[in-house]
Chains A and B, each alone.
Chain A
Amino acid sequence: MNDEKIFITGMGIISALGNSLDETFQALKANKINDSKIDSFECEIDKPVFKANFLNKTLNSEMRTKQLADIAFKQALVQAEIIDPDKSGFCRPDLKNLRIGICCGTTVASQLNDIEFYRQFRAGRVKSYDAVEHYLSGNISQALLLEHNFSGPGINVVNACSSGTDAIGVAMAWIKKGICDIVIAGGADELNRVPVAGFNSLGILSDSVCKPFDKNRDGLNLGEGAAFVVLEKESIALARKISTLAECCSYATAADGYHLTAPRPDGQGLKTAIKKALLNADLSAKDIDFINAHGTATKNNDQVEGLVFKNMFAQKTEVFSIKGYTGHTLGAAGAIDAVMTILSLEKQWLPMNAGFSNEDPDIALSPVTENINFKAEYALSTSLAFGGKNSAVIFRRA
């Protein structure tokens, strides 16, 4: 087993906040809430969403999720000095000898859910199997491996809303096991009629812009985006003379074993995941300076998270959810949270928790209510998923 520290050497992000790390940071500084309406596909449901705005260069020849992934992935590779921004191939020949893997979380891209294809199939007259071709060639990790000529492995994590965080966990396992020298881990998901209709049917979409942790929160907004981080062991980063953005200290996950769509009300699964992550990092709760919460703004999620945080952490531990700015980006959420956490550690700064005005007396916890500068060394990022999955990852400032 490789006991070396694992560092983050590159990041990339696209969401409603912007199409790059810098755009994201600038938008957060200004507390920009870029909610919008569903207008890119036919849908009866009229609820706020968070769209990414980018030029669709490939014009429908690839799934939108893959296009989002491409943008964030490339940013991460460029920052990690694996590729040049304007050329294809490795930017240094010695990279060819490194084992580079990819792990991507997603929900929409893992399904063959093209509505037009299926409509035609039901009617017995399929005009084109292009949708299927896109699906089969759009397995994100494998497509990215091929495009960049990486040795692999490449898998998608399909753990619903904790996928992005779990992808980081897989990356750490691969590096520790000696399977990879470098792993690009993250997540991507697009706004799509299927999850919009699905989440609406569960009664957990808000009619207004979401309010994570607020007393009057009434549901989530869906969003789209992608984010990736480049993980590599310390000796590789040193040999490559690459700057490190943060240390990825530990990852842990635990199942509720409780219900398909509702989290354990006592938060035991989340507590277990957090405790394991702390243990794995040789830390205690008091070492954590802030928490990037899953914070979806549903009654249940924020209640469970809020109570666990209140119970486990000191009052001084700041809590923050990005979802008031990005919506819930499903398979990308954990990865976007990771990038945000690392950015916050780097800048020693947190934006205010968008959407929060009134503390919920049932939780008795207030997230960050204004942009703050602070001293932070360790941060925890949590993700909770359908099916009772609870995941936690801890980062340390570089």
Chain B
Amino acid sequence: MNLLGKGFADQNTKIKGIRRADMFTKMAVSASNKACSGFEFNNEAMEISIIVATLFGPHVTTFKFLDNLLDYSDSGVSPTLFSHSVHNAAASYIAVSLGIRGQSLTITSFNDPLKQALILADAWLEFDQTKKIVVCYVDEESDPLVSAHEHCTFPSYAEKMIPIGAASILLEKGSTMEIPESILNPFTYIEEL
């Protein structure tokens, strides 16, 4: 693959025009917009694709939804919070923001989700299923999850520092970029590309 652009966003991201979006989505959109800065996709919208990779998804929004459930019961919950707690909301916003209408996938893995996304991106490009692809890694922090990591005995997560924020890259078919054996920190990896 060839790298065409990259972008980053953190949990202080402010972005206009997507009023309902939660921070998870705002980070993903901001990083992806930066990665695609300088590119116009109007004439090739169907040929541009998105893969969003995450460990835990938009759990801040999930917990806000649970707040609604506990405070207002089942018929008082916010449909906006619900639809944003679905993991692929971020990919949907990226598609609208960038005018992308190609393939769109959101994946989760507790084991190197960015690498898995890159493997798929490489396959899609190789098989000409798409001409360019935005790959976005995004994860966020929440108090319940921080607490869970402190108390959890599940081996991988007691020690692991979860990388927080969003990092996006725009890729096309090519041979200058290899997929590494593993990606310990998506931000460092993308920074060094």
Q: Which A residues lie at the B interface, using CB under 8 A?
A: 1, 43-45, 107, 110-113, 115, 117-119, 121-122, 126, 129, 132-133, 136-137, 139, 141-142, 153-160, 166, 169-170, 173-174, 176-177, 179, 193-203, 252-261, 268-269, 272, 385-389
Asked if B74 contacts A45 (CB within 8 A), the reply is yes
Given contacts A156-B107, A201-B75, could you give 10 more A-B pairs where the C-beta distance is less than 8 Å? A132-B148, A153-B119, A154-B111, A156-B109, A173-B120, A173-B127, A196-B74, A258-B96, A261-B79, A387-B104
Interface stretch among B6-14, B30-38, B58-66? B58-66
Smallest Cβ-Cβ distance to B154: which chain A residue? A136
**B69, B100, B156 — which one has the most chain A CB atoms within 10 A of its CB?**
B69
A256–B101 CB distance below 8 A: yes
A117–B39 Cα distance when bound, in Å, is: 45
**Across the interface, do A389 and B88 meet the contact criterion of CB distance under 8 Å?**
yes
Chain A: minimal CB distance from B154 (Å): 4
Closest to B119 in A: A179
Structural contact, A45 and B75, CB atoms closer than 8 A: yes
Evaluate contact between B102 and A254: CB separation under 8 angstroms.
Answer: yes
Q: Is the CB of B88 within 8 A of A119?
A: no
**Max chain A C-beta neighbours (<10 A), residue from B57, B74, B79, B100:** B74
For the complex formed, measure the closest distance between the CB of B65 and the CB atoms of chain A, giving whole angstroms.
7
Tell me if A111 and B57 are in contact (CB < 8 A): yes
Contact B109 A174 (CB under 8 A): no
Q: How far, in whole Å, are A269 and B96 apart by their CA atoms in the complex?
A: 13
Residue of A nearest to B55 (CB): A139
Determine the chain B residues whose CB is within 8 A of the CB of A115 once the complex forms. Answer: 66, 69-70
- A57 CB to nearest B CB, Å: 22
A142→B74 contact, CB < 8 A: no
- Chain B residues closer than 8 Å to A385, beta-carbon distance: 88
Once the chains are docked, how many angstroms separate the CA of A113 from the CA of B129?
Answer: 35
Residues of chain B within 8 A of A176, CB atoms compared: 123, 127
B18 to chain A, nearest CB (A): 10
Q: CB distance B144 to A118 under 8 Å?
A: yes
- If the complex has contacts A197-B74, A198-B77, are A388 and B92 also in contact, measured as CB distance less than 8 A? yes
Q: When A and B form their complex, which 5 residue pairs have the shortest distance between CB atoms, in order from nearest?
A: A387-B92, A198-B82, A158-B87, A201-B79, A44-B74
CB contact under 8 A between A155 and B83, given known A173-B124, A197-B74, A389-B104:
no
Is B153 part of the binding interface, using a Cβ–Cβ cutoff of 8 Å? Answer: yes
Contacts of B116 on A, CB cut-off 8 Å?
153, 155
Task: Give complex CA distance A163, B87 in Å.
Answer: 11
